[in-house]
Amino acid sequence: MKELKLYLIMLTAPLVLLFALAQLRADYALYRQVRDYGLPATAIVRSIDLASYIGRTEGGRKVNYVLDLPGPAMVNGSAHMSKRAADRYSPGQEIEIVYAETNPSLNALSVAHAWGALVSDAIVIFAYGAVLALVIALIRTAPRRAWRGRTLSIK
């Protein structure tokens, strides 16, 4: 039964790793664009929601804001933060953000906030890689069994 669980982890690993790497790439693009081409702007807080992960609430908050650019463009954005940090804001309040001049949909509260998201993703990928390496090691060191339940000798 243990080997079956390990094999299931191994089968789902490429999908999880691809998703995590795609998120890392998106956060890196955000950080690079905001760092290199960032313009400060004032946005309006629309709402403050409970942060959730797959429908399960976390401890933090998600601050949703809208940026009114010159012309007909309205850009929506959001930022995850702790409950204590989110308590400083209220709906309708102005909030300072940074957006990329080349693509206003790439925006963050600050360059440091974009960097924090990138580092957080890198830590998750590193931890997942460590668990994956452990699973591979457990599979490789597990005794092999024949289909009739007898242990095979590996030389």
Q: What is the pLDDT of residue 7?
A: 76
Pull the structure tokens for residue 57.
Answer: 């609430």
Given a contact cutoff of 8 angstroms between Cβ atoms, the answer to whether 82 and 60 are in contact is yes
- Which residues are paired to 95 by β-bridges? 43
Asked whether residue 95 carries a pLDDT value surpassing 90, the answer given is yes
Pull the structure tokens for residue 75.
Answer: 């850009």
14-31 b/e (C-beta count within 10 Å ≥ 16 → b)? eeeeeebeebbeebeebb
Q: How confident is the model at residue 4 (pLDDT cuts 50, 70, 90)?
A: confident
- Which residues are paired to 88 by β-bridges? none
Q: Which of 5-14, 49-58, 110-119, 127-136 has the lowest mean pLDDT?
A: 49-58
Q: Which has more pLDDT, 71 or 116?
A: 116
Q: How confident is the model at residue 153 (pLDDT cuts 50, 70, 90)?
A: low
Interatomic CA distance for residues 30 and 104, integer angstroms: 10
Q: What is the pLDDT of residue 154?
A: 57
pLDDT average, residue stretch 17-24 = 89
Which secondary structure element, helix H or strand E, spans residue 29, and what is its range? helix 2-37
Interatomic CA distance for residues 130 and 128, integer angstroms: 5
Share of the chain above pLDDT 90, in %: 31
Interatomic CA distance for residues 140 and 133, integer angstroms: 11
